[in-house]
Structure 1
Amino acid sequence: MTSPLVKDNCGLPAHHDPSGSGFVNPWPSFHKHGRWDLLKMGWEFDRKQSKVTTQTALPKILSPNKDLIDTFSHPRDTAAAAETDKVTTTWLGHACFLVQINGVNILFDPVFSDRCSPSQLVGPKRFTPPPCKLDELPRVDVVVISHNHYDHLDLTTIRALQKDHQPYFFVPLGNKSWFESIGIKDKVTECDWWDEHELAFHDQMSHIKVTCTPCQHFTGRTLTDHYKTLWASWVVESIPKHDSEKAIKVFFGGDTGYRSVPKGADENEVPHCPAFKEIGERIGPFTLSMIPIGAYSPRWFMSPIHCSPEDAVRVHEDIRSKRSVGMHWGTWILTDEDVTEPPRRLEAEMKNRGHDPNTFNTIHIGETLVVDV
């Protein structure tokens, strides 16, 4: 299978479109749907779309533990780091997480708007609200964006974060111009797959490395700009300064598929995306990972771009994650599976593959998970 580092005949990496006008998924595990597929999917979705009713057992929403989050918003005593190093993640709904590494607050794919849409008048509307207001977040040092779909990149949220926090922004290739168009010209770093950048905070007490890593997806905010900007998963690592410190490695899956499964195909016989095993071999094992588990039905259409819970367990294995959390479910109705199904299937697949279900499960919206390094 082709590595994204292998260049094509035009001298470009394999995930760059040879025309120079965009990007591609360079693996047999991906299938690009045509117009007829889009029409068929639209027909199925219109008839089968999942609903939220008064009987739906919605995900539980907690008010974030402000005292706990504030505790981890400051660097810890490096002399005691061997005993106290921990990483936290707070789920803020869908793919949005606040991750805290040695006092550095990192926000992934923040969307606090009601609808994930070009307009707040139409489009998918939240069935679970954010667990807090945007202005109730602690200091935000870094914002990481996986791609430009509206459920991952939100204009109102980004503007508010820039106004109140002036964080560093890390985005995949092609997205910097969008930030510049809304007046954010400084501290925006555009990355290709495997690009690395180091940052220091708290008077050089805290050092992190941000790495842009591959995944299998696509991009577009209009009908005419599909595949024009890059999509990515991300890795954030602590950089130990003393022998007593342990390295923290966090993986954020963004939005990704794992394999393309046509109708009637055996899922175990189709090619799977090799990027995650490469990530695991080059950077893993990971202390903590956030992996998408929802928006996977109809399977024949969604499998190239969205993981099912079964796919997510394979990603968990490939990247060599010690502790994973499921995301990309429980916030908007984007596909036609039951809105509460993903965690149940995740638990069943973890048991099916012989894993402790507590090493990859879901947490409540607003809940903070503290993980030992």
Structure 2
Amino acid sequence: MFRFTTAGESHGRALIAIVEGVPAGTPINVEAIDRDLERRQWGYGRGGRMRIERDRVQILSGVRHGQALGSPIALMIENRDWPNWQEVMAVEPRALSSEEARQLKRPRPGHADLAGGLKYGARDLRDILERASARESAARVACGAVAKQLLAEFGVEILSHVIQLGGIPTEPLELDWASIAAIPDDAPLRCGDAEVEKLMIARIDEARREGDTLGGVFEVVGRGVVVGLGSHVSWREKLDGRLAQAFMSIPAVKAVEIGIGVRAASLPGSEVHDEIAYDAAERKFFHRTNRAGGLEGGITNGEELRVRGYLKPISTLRRPLRSVDIETKEESAAAYERSDTTAVPAAGVIGEAMMAIVLAAAMREKFGGDSLVEMTRNFQAYLDQLRAY
């Protein structure tokens, strides 16, 4: 079984993650993990925190001489901002004033502040903010980077791109794999249309001047995914459901679309379902289109996986919305914490991580194996079975 868990607060000492289920012998490249951590931090519209942190992973266990041992892999990402928060976030009791403790009493609309405070009885909403912060997603990206390295052994590649931001363009972009792969590493928004990207940047500048924030849509594409991951036999095993849950868990994502998803509801079946064909030379079935986004009946069908995440605008605004002080119960402007104008490109990188984690889990379930050698042997036997079908 491939699974992970994370720990840590936004302004705590570090983020911690533990990944289980990586088969022994899997190559683990620290630099590849760091590259994805850097990609999560990068993008036009990010805020001051990204100028402070320079995320790098430290592997504390589970890897020796560049290969997984088969035991849990422990990862740590230090928070460089920690020296400025040592007293505020100290583990031991501290006698601090409300101001010294940077207490949060004015919940931000759209954030977990109020709902979390009510649920846990927190009188200082920082107790909620610190874990609800999207800073936690850095640990997920590190776990996803490990999952990507396992998937690469079986020919799976995962990319993301921004297809709409702040309502630009009116209809989300549609790009093939080659166009997505061709997006330059230094593209400000990881958008495949340079002219559209310029309009997005202008919209971000406008929102920043107004003290506002913007959401958008990112798409994650998985290529080389074998047919047969997931299952139709139980709702828990349907891979589309697992991917949707994984994407919905990304901070600020409010909707998920697989394939043509929402559009399919307004079209006749003849314009939705993908016709099936057979390639005699390759001895494999394929679909003439991919409106299903690579999934049918909760099972991968061998086509590209295409999942879109719809990101609401960030809930921390420099021009705060109205709120209520939880102590005085009087109307007050919501609290402001250092924030971004938009983080859609970063959300795409987090989406890559979540897709990789779900796929790695599905691969481990289907092909098992304590070592990469054993898992690869099982995988090859399955490919032989498919060719003989």
The two structures have a TM-score, normalised by structure 2, of 0.22
Relative contact order (alpha carbons < 8 A, sep ≥ 6): 1 or 2 greater?
2
The two structures have a TM-score, normalised by structure 1, of 0.22
Q: Which of the two has higher C-alpha Rg?
A: 2
